[in-house]
Amino acid sequence: MNLLEQLRQMTVVVADTGDILAIEKFTPRDATTNPSLITAAAQMKEYQPIVDETLRKVKADLGSGATSREIVSLAVDRLAVAFGLKILQIIPGRVSTEVDARLSYDTAATVQKARDLIAQYEAGGVGRDRVLIKIASTWEGIRAAEILEKEGIHCNLTLLFGFHQAIACAEAGVTLISPFVGRILDWYKKKTGRAAYPGPEDPGVISVTKIYNYYKKFGYPTEVMGASFRNIGEIIELAGCDLLTISPALLQELQNTEGELQRKLDPAIAATLDIEKVAMDEATFRKMHAADEMASEKLDEGIKGFTKALETLEGLLTQRLARLEGAETLTHAAEELFHVYDLDGDGIITREEWLGTDAVFDALDANHDGKVTPEDMGAGLGVVLHLAKAN
């Protein structure tokens, strides 16, 4: 068996992508998305119908008085859910959908946003048991997750880099955490100037292993899902972890690689380890966070990164909405103009009926049959306006 097949025997494999075609190819149990992945997918030609349909529906729901900003703001959430619903048609498990990163330090706003997202999924016929709400692992985000979990809304705490974050999440009864293996490695490489780390020495691998063993030692049900991998060596060292969310490129590399895969993380072994339990409260959390330079920097960087991705997506949706509104305006104008010149109302404008210049008629009459149809008018309205100005 290849490494991917063997990994699936000991770890739940999750696809870290918003690309529906990639998910169909690798058939993971679960899938995760984030603002960066949704933004990337939204720019792919094959997913433009999802984007356009979402924008049109939001515009219709909000009514004619809605501003572009209001439409786009709601469309961002609707689009994340739209991709989630498509993904859930393919996978048997759960999809993770992220709360606006700009709410990371606002417990109440995070809770409300999560409830809104779940309501949209339920309106789409999907129960809350198949959705994980992704929230940044700030103290405020963890508190929001604690409230949501008690309501039956399951959470995936993301942007997790420090041991203190993991402990606080477990104490809050969070369903799942996503420690970022590769981003931890990135920080240490930059800090030390070291070009590479062997798998067992990889700081991200060491961090996830420590968290996994702590959870299993003390019987926390919170699942550990390693994320943000830079190479398959990191994945190999975390074989046996509850879940691993992996990009399509690394899934392909695992699928193409033969060899024996050994289980590295095991709850039975973790239970035998001598580990000290840490009491966690807000003061301890903030003290440990301030002392952890890597976790502090990477959490802040991650929130800013996801915020930038959201703003990029909002910009893309604003542009797309303008094009859609322009197309609708153009279509309406073409219909009105056609009726003005279709004097006998037979659905065709002949040269005799045309009251404009010959140059404009010739531009509209694409097949040169001496007749202009409504379709010709719609397609050529831009030419009409241009030549009309010229004349």
DSSP reduced 3-state for 331: helix
pLDDT in tens, 305-357: 999 989 989 988 988 888 887 765 545 556 666 776 677 888 888 877 776 66
Is there a domain that residue 257 lies in?
yes
Q: Are residues 299 and 171 in the same domain?
A: yes
pLDDT at 282: 98
Is there a domain that residue 326 lies in?
no
Q: Are residues 56 and 104 in the same domain?
A: yes
Is there a domain that residue 325 lies in?
no
Q: Are residues 37 and 109 in the same domain?
A: yes
Is there a domain that residue 337 lies in?
no
Catalytic residue (choose from 134, 217, 264, 298) = 134
Q: Are residues 138 and 231 in the same domain?
A: yes
pLDDT in tens, 158-187: 999 999 999 999 999 999 999 999 999 999
Residue 385, domain extent: 342-389
Residues 6 or more apart from 2 whose CB is under 8 A from it?
254, 255, 256, 257, 258
Residue 215: HSE in the Cβ half-sphere, 13 Å Cα cutoff: 32
pLDDT band (50, 70, 90) for residue 32: confident
pLDDT exceeds 80 at position 377: no
Q: Are residues 377 and 308 in the same domain?
A: no
The Cβ of residue 60 has, within 10 Å, a number of other Cβ atoms equal to 11
Q: Are residues 218 and 347 in the same domain?
A: no
Please state the domain count of the chain.
2
Is there a domain that residue 323 lies in?
no
Is there a domain that residue 335 lies in?
no
pLDDT at 294: 98
134 part of the active site: yes
Residues 6 or more apart from 296 whose CB is under 8 A from it?
289, 290
Phi then psi dihedrals of residue 390, to 5 deg: -70, -30
pLDDT exceeds 60 at position 389: no
| Strand 30-32 with 223-226, pairing | unpaired
pLDDT exceeds 90 at position 363: no
Q: Are residues 203 and 137 in the same domain?
A: yes
Q: Are residues 349 and 307 in the same domain?
A: no
Is there a domain that residue 222 lies in?
yes
pLDDT band (50, 70, 90) for residue 288: very high
Q: 0.85 exceeded by the pTM?
A: no
Is there a domain that residue 212 lies in?
yes
HEC per residue, 101-152: HHHCCCHHHHHHHHHHHHHHHHHCCCCHHHEEEEEECCHHHHHHHHHHHHCC
Distance CA 389, CA 93 (A): 58
Instruction: Give the residue from 228, 266, 232, 200 showing the smallest Cα distance to 2.
Output: 232
Distance CA 226, CA 348 (A): 64
| Chosen domain end from 318, 333, 351 | 318
